[in-house]
Amino acid sequence: MTLLLALITGLFYAAGIYLLLRRSLVKVIFGIMFLGHAANMLIFSTGRLTKGAPAFVPEGAQALVEPFADPLPQALILTAIVIGFGLQAFAIVLFRRSFEELGTDDVDAMRTTDRIDGGES
Amino acid sequence: MNLLVALPILLPLVTALVMLPFRERPGVQRGLGLGASLAQAAVAVALLSRVYAGGILTLQAGGWAAPFGITLVADLLSAVMVAATALIGLTTSIYSLGSIDREQERFFFHPLMQLLLVGINGAFLTGDLFNLYVWFEVMLISSFVLLALGGSPRQLEGSVKYVTINLLSSAIFLSAVGILYGVAGTLNMADLSARLPMIEQRDLLSVVAVLLLVTFGVKAAIFPLFFWLPASYHTPPVAVSAIFAGLLTKVGVYAIMRVFTTVFTGPESEAIFRILLWIAPLTMVVGVLGAAAQYDLRKLLSFHIVSQIGYMLFAIAIQSPLAIAGGLFYIVHNIVAKTSLFYISGIVRHKSGAFQLKKIGGLYSTEPLLAALFLVSALALAGIPPLSGFWAKLMVIRAGLESGHYFVTAAALAVSLLTLFSMTKIWNEAFWKDDPGVVSSTDEAHGNGRTALLYLPVVMLCGVIVFFGLSFEPVYELSARAAGQLLDVESYRNAVLGGGL
């Protein structure tokens, strides 16, 4: 299970970076999403993976009994997923709007702000 | 409970929420923004004086003791940064009254500005790495919208670059935090600093340290991660690019300073400092050379932001008490001088109709006050005595010589000269030469005619620059104490972990 998760996480990172390096804005946004998910999976697996053992302290005991998965990373991911969702939603709207305004989704064509004359005034 | 520590975050947050319903009544929003900024300045001064007198203040949210709860920590470094933020927040809210148009106000300019300050102050005050990530995101999402506000094609293009690189850096930050939690089992900074020396998996810690350096490096615009900055900072309204120029990159520098002195104390941070000793001169030189080629006023100044970051990195990399004190003072001086120069660029645009230096001229005879204010800010940036930049550079360069980094120190001195060259170029083109008459007088699109509101913040900031320069003794005292406190990790740990129980 851990091996499978490690492979999937690695695949997500690779896919994310590959898509981020493409020229089309649509692929860039997918790349960002994959990277976000990859980071979430990574955090998820740092809390250890246990099957059918919820992190509850049994009655009468003072602490968790082995084996248990650390629940904190799962809480961290929840926060990260929410934040990532908001940012990705904004990025989609922004990319769409710039596609409409600039008339292109080719990242290589977006060079006016880099040029010395920098467009208008 | 030290509620004072949370106030710099709560105050702008509440203000932003109260502002939201008043979309169609900009007068109310303006008033609230100005009032909140004044209150924020008072809070920042109170916080700074309490921390100066009584040592590190902590707040454990909800009474959950560290390292389990959400911890806010105000040591002198944080308090100074919060104070600088309050100053820039106040001047920007005045400046925006005279420069932001009705349409931008309808798209929530004022609440977004407050939310930006929430994120910045949160980043300065948090005592937890995951919360640092969250505050970064709060800051980023507001800055995304502010950058795209108005939606001109150039702004959108700049925003695409800015948003993409920042989302990438967020993903890297999150991965680093995840690995660090897996290794250390905690993300509280004080707790981490106690536990990291005992960790066996040093190679994983090195990976985390480098990932964090990349993340903060993107935010701070260090070489070679700075390309997004000159591609985006010259596109939004001047009030927005001024506050970005002053504060956002410095949040990255602060994070580098905090994480690699407080959290990482062992061989990992020494390795990072060795890398920084290479990055610092490269950042200085590449930034200043990039600026030399530019003729768009704001783009030129954007490259100088990058160049100045190099000095701060150099100070951090030396790590002697004098260097840290110098670096801290450098950050504050640079926040003030850089913001002032961006405000001035807005007034130049307002008076002459363009940012392009080749199209404008003659401002020395038509706007003598502006010329004087520009001279103060520009010479401070270049490091001419008796202004603030001189002392900042003197401390950093002296620390560089004392620690034997002659090569980087020489680069720092040479870059000072080139900075002066750039500032002279602006002076010659915009102020000294005759108006070439290409642009038809003033530009109505920028500013709404209340020129006094544009001048007032610049006068305030130039006052601060001159004050820092002339009465340097107390300022030095404060920076030296802040540096001593930052390097004394033991007392930081005790304040966070000991006091909460």
Each residue's pLDDT tens digit, B376-412: 999 999 998 889 999 999 999 999 999 999 999 999 9
By Cβ distance, the residue of B133, B232, B443 closest to A113 is: B232
Average pLDDT of the residues in B223-243: 91
Task: Determine, yes or no, domain membership for A86.
Answer: yes
Average pLDDT of the residues in B338-361: 90
Of the candidates B52, B126, B44, B10, the one whose C-alpha atom is nearest the C-alpha of residue B496 is B126
Task: Report the distance separating Cα B210 and Cα B298, nearest Å.
Answer: 32
Q: Under an 8 A CB cutoff, do B144 and A90 touch?
A: yes
Task: Determine contact: A24 vs chain B, CB below 8 A.
Answer: no
Tokens of B57: 């203040």
Residue B297 distance to chain A (closest CA, Å): 10
Strand partners, B68: none
Supply the pLDDT for residue B69.
82
Give burial (CB, 10 Å; 0-12/13-18/19+) of B190. buried
* A61: CB partners within 8 A, 6+ apart: none
Choose from B126, B134, B149, B163 for mutation: most chain A CBs within 10 A: B163
Residue A111 has pLDDT above 70, yes or no: yes
CA Rg value for chain A? 21
Chain A hits for B218, Cβ within 8 Å: none
The pairing of beta strand B71-74 with beta strand B57-60? antiparallel
Q: CA B467, B468, B472: angle at the middle one, nearest 5?
A: 115
Q: Under an 8 A CB cutoff, do B163 and A91 touch?
A: yes
Confidence of residue B441 (pLDDT cuts 50, 70, 90): low
Give burial (CB, 10 Å; 0-12/13-18/19+) of B199. middle
Q: Under an 8 A CB cutoff, do B163 and A90 touch?
A: yes
Average pLDDT of the residues in A73-91: 91
Average pLDDT of the residues in B298-315: 94
What is the dihedral sign for C-alpha B294, B227, B83, B319?
negative
Q: Say which residue the tokens 């001593």 belong to.
A: B484
Task: Report the distance separating Cα B170 and Cα B12, nearest Å.
Answer: 24
Confidence of residue A118 (pLDDT cuts 50, 70, 90): low
Task: Determine contact: A2 vs chain B, CB below 8 A.
Answer: no
Task: Determine, yes or no, domain membership for A119.
Answer: no
Residue B204 distance to chain A (closest CA, Å): 13
Q: Under an 8 A CB cutoff, do B141 and A86 touch?
A: yes
Tokens of B159: 């925003």
Task: Determine, yes or no, domain membership for A40.
Answer: yes
Task: Determine, yes or no, domain membership for A57.
Answer: no
Residue B501 has pLDDT above 50, yes or no: no
Task: Determine contact: A87 vs chain B, CB below 8 A.
Answer: yes
Q: What is the mean pLDDT of chain B?
A: 90
Task: Determine, yes or no, domain membership for A23.
Answer: yes
Supply the pLDDT for residue B45.
95
Task: Report the distance separating Cα B166 and Cα A94, nearest Å.
Answer: 14
Q: Where are the domains of chain B?
A: 3-498
pLDDT in tens, B162-218: 999 999 999 999 999 999 998 998 899 999 999 999 988 889 999 999 999 999 999
Closest residue of chain B to A34, computed from CA coordinates: B171
- Alpha-helix runs per DSSP H in B1-108: 3-19, 26-54, 76-99, 102-106
Supply the pLDDT for residue A71.
83
CA Rg value for chain B? 22
Closest residue of chain A to B68, computed from CA coordinates: A72
Strand partners, B188: B128
Choose from B167, B170, B358, B443 for mutation: most chain A CBs within 10 A: B167
- Mean pLDDT comparison of A48-52, A105-109, B239-243, highest-scoring range: B239-243
Q: Which of residues 52-81 of A touch B (CB under 8 A)?
A: 70, 72-73, 76, 79-80
Closest residue of chain B to A9, computed from CA coordinates: B175
Residue B341 has pLDDT above 60, yes or no: yes
Supply the pLDDT for residue B63.
76
Supply the pLDDT for residue B449.
61
Supply the pLDDT for residue A120.
52
Q: Under an 8 A CB cutoff, do B171 and A117 touch?
A: no
Task: Determine, yes or no, domain membership for A21.
Answer: yes
Supply the pLDDT for residue B253.
95
Confidence of residue B85 (pLDDT cuts 50, 70, 90): very high
Task: Report the distance separating Cα B13 and Cα B7, nearest Å.
Answer: 9
Q: Under an 8 A CB cutoff, do B157 and A98 touch?
A: yes
Supply the pLDDT for residue A121.
45
Could you tell me the CATH number of the domain that includes residue A34?
1.10.287
Q: Which of B457-461, B469-473, B495-499 has the lowest mean pLDDT?
A: B495-499
Average pLDDT of the residues in A25-33: 93
Confidence of residue B154 (pLDDT cuts 50, 70, 90): confident
Confidence of residue B448 (pLDDT cuts 50, 70, 90): low
Residue B446 has pLDDT above 80, yes or no: no
Task: Determine, yes or no, domain membership for A84.
Answer: yes
Q: Under an 8 A CB cutoff, do B170 and A87 touch?
A: yes
Per-position DSSP letters for B311-370, written without gaps between them:
HHHHHHHH-SHHHHHHHHHHHHHHHHHHHHHHHHHHHHHHHHS-SBGGG---HHHH-HHH
Supply the pLDDT for residue A36.
93
Chain B hits for A105, Cβ within 8 Å: none
Task: Determine, yes or no, domain membership for A113.
Answer: no
In chain B, the percentage of residues whose pLDDT exceeds 90 is 69
